[in-house]
Amino acid sequence: METLRVRLPEIPPSSYPVHFCAGPGAIASRIVAISRGAQLFLVTDRSVYRHHGMVMQRMLLRSGVTFRAIVLPGGERTKNRRSKESLEDLLIRSGAERSSVVAAFGGGVIGDLVGFTAATLFRGVRLIHIPTTLLSQVDSAVGGKVGIDHPMGKNLLGAFHHPEAVLIDPGFLRTLPEREYLQGMAEVIKYGLILDRRLFLRLKSSVRAIRSRNRTTLLPVIARCCALKGRVVAADERESGYRRILNFGHTVGHALEQASHYVIPHGMAVSIGMAAEAGISLGLGMITPADLADLLGLLGAYGLPVSVPRGIPRAAILRALSFDKKKSGGVVRFTLPRGIGRGVTGVEVPPEILSGVLGR
């Protein structure tokens, strides 16, 4: 019998906009244009709803959008299979259809959970990201990676599902607690260290303005991070190679989150992970002591931690690393800096260097 080949149509190149909006009214106007009359589900968490939910609903009603608001618990512990199943049930019982639009209105946890649900509901419904934290505005809302945690590791279940648009309003950042705001700076610093030396230097010279959330200073920083992320995603959408450059700090960071049972939040874990992985880079001769001091100094200037807290066993971190979703052939490979503004992927780290850095 001859071999049959199923030919698939070529998927044309596509793109989606990242709109910078001045207030919920501008966001509502964008949603009107994107949804084009389809039913909208606005999914958020309790904290975001308390600060911004009523205003956002009022703006949507004024714009004539038909929508239903769904409010979930917040925090990393919400990002699990049970929450996804509950959200699916709510959407289906509420009359969601394949033509519906689901808007993730919140930080990275809501974006990941809602995005993954949108990816699998009816084999994919339309998605809008409305990120409300610095971390989600500069990183997780752009790029199409969505997912949930598994008891054996962070983000082990997920998909690639790009939004119709990302709607960013830096005004949301005014209500963030200081610690949560600064978590986002870990991702911003990551971009500077591995991709953009000029951004790294800007972060050094603008600490006071950025920490005070000065919109004039902050907006170009957010836009630059989105542009860098977009460039990486365009080069490697499915993380088969170059996109792994964005994993700097996340390999150790994710393991630390899991080892702490998610008591250590993502941004803080990434900060510690960057410090540890830069220490590995120093041990491999890829950066200088001055480079490491530069990074540690910048993390400290933004109030970010650089060492593993006491009470978290090194063995638990190493065990969590063994389940890292990015390992290949049983080996965990790291993204590491090679000087300020340049990173390299796929670095195998000798166990003695890894254990030595984590054991400090």
Task: Please give the positions annotated as active site.
Answer: 123, 145, 187, 229, 239, 243, 247, 250, 254, 266
Asked if residues 131 and 140 have their Cβ atoms less than 8 Å apart, the reply is yes
Q: Can you give the three-state secondary structure of 282-301, one letter per residue?
A: HHCCCCCHHHHHHHHHHHHH
Closest CA to 277 of 260, 295, 264: 295
Burial label for 71, CB within 10 Å (0-12, 13-18, 19+), is: middle
CB-CB contact of 332 with 354 (8 Å): no
- Sorted by sequence, the CB contacts under 8 Å of residue 82 that are 6+ apart come out as none
Sequence-distant (≥ 6) Cβ neighbours of residue 8 within 8 angstroms: none
Classify the C-alpha dihedral 189-241-259-316 as positive or negative: negative
Torsion angle of C-alpha atoms 137, 138, 142, 143, degrees rounded to 10 = -150
Residue 105 tokens read as 């209105």
Task: Give the CA-trace dihedral at 112, 234, 186, 214, to 10 degrees.
Answer: -100
